[in-house]
Structure 1
Amino acid sequence: MYSKVLVPLDGSEVSERALAHAQRVAEAFGARVYLLQIISLTHEYEAVRGGGDESLITIEYSQETARQITASRQTRAEAYLAALAAQLEETGIQVEASVRQGPTSDHIMNFIEETGIDLVVMSTHGRSGLQRFFLGSVTDRVIRSSRVPVLAVPLED
């Protein structure tokens, strides 16, 4: 039923919660697991100003600084995914890891199409209220846009 399972990761422990579920699916169906991390030149950060108001800050870098930061993030992301891939491979699961740069949801959707993914397993971050409104949810966007099933692993599973 499932032969290619995608696990998008952002480097957080929360996103890694999806790995155990993907592992179970891969073991049950003999599926290959694809680990994907997206990095970008601009990052959105949650900030708390005086009075506790949440706001969104976008930081943009000069071209040279952006190149250096991107190279560093690329190297860290590759090492991170390689370590996770090695753990899964120890259980006999075939794993491929990929790092892309740009808008997260767009790259996840493109990866699904390009690779022929038939199941996406990803974590939710448990945001609600203003955080969710301002920051959005990559998981929500993937669920709404995907033509393949998406298993959304809640913060508390």
Structure 2
Amino acid sequence: MFDTILLPTDGSEHAEAAAQTGLELASIHEAAVHVVCVADTGPLSDLRLPGDAASAKEAMGDRAQEAVDAIVDRADASELEVTGTVLEGPPEDELLEYADEVDADLVVMATRGRGGVHRMALGSTTDHIVRFGDIPVFVANSSAHAD
């Protein structure tokens, strides 16, 4: 039923729990997995970066790569076909574009992630993907698994 599953992550415990669900679904369906973390370089990102913006953005990219690598390692251990990618930009837009590029059949993501106060005003990435994406989204209620 699913050939390609997209697993967005932000490195949070919630995203890790959702990724586990996604990996289990990929195993059942023998699907390829695309793990993606978007380093948020959207228009408001500089407001959230302490100190030197260039150094902070580099650190953000490093954290994004670590988040992707952690899930890719788990997928490799399960002998799944996996690709890990770090993108930059507004997460909502980048994830929808990437899902289209890889022809994803399903997105598996958490109900919440690192967010923060600024996300309350802007809306969550998950909500945006559910509302504006044209592929099925499996929203894993990660609050039961991580807090």
How far did 1:81 drift? Answer: 1.4
How far did 1:135 drift? Answer: 4.2
* Matched AA of 2:85: S
Q: What is the CA–CA distance in structure 2 between the aligned matches of 1:131 and 1:113, rounded to whole Å?
A: 27
Contact 2:2–2:105 (Cα < 8 Å) also in 1:
yes
How far did 1:25 drift? Answer: 1.2
* 1:66 aligned partner: 53
Q: What is the CA–CA distance in structure 2 between the aligned matches of 1:18 and 1:152, rounded to whole Å?
A: 8
Greater RCO (CA < 8 Å, at least 6 residues apart): 2
Identity %: 27
Q: Looking at secondary structure, tell me which structure has more strand per residue.
A: 1
* 2:124 aligned partner: 137
What are the ranges of 5 or more consecutive residues in structure 2 without an aligned counterpart? Answer: none
Q: Taking structure 1 as the reference length, what is the TM-score of the superposition?
A: 0.78
Q: Which aligned pairs between 1:23-62 and structure 2 lie closer than 5 A? A: 23-41=23-41, 42-43=44-45, 58-59=47-48
**Count of matched residue positions in the alignment of Structure 1 and Structure 2:** 139
Q: Which aligned pairs between 1:1-157 and structure 2 lie closer than 5 A? A: 1-41=1-41, 42-43=44-45, 58-59=47-48, 65-125=52-112, 133-154=120-141, 155-156=143-144
Structure of greater Rg? 1
Superposition misfits of 4+ residues, deviation over 3 angstroms: 41-44, 58-62, 130-133
Report Cα offsets for 1:21-53 as digits up to 9, x if no partner.
Answer: 111211111101111111124449xxxxxxxxx
Q: What is the CA–CA distance in structure 1 between the aligned matches of 2:88 and 2:74, rounded to whole Å?
A: 24
How far did 1:123 drift? Answer: 0.5
* Matched AA of 1:20: Q
Classify the secondary structure of the residue corresponding to 2:11: coil
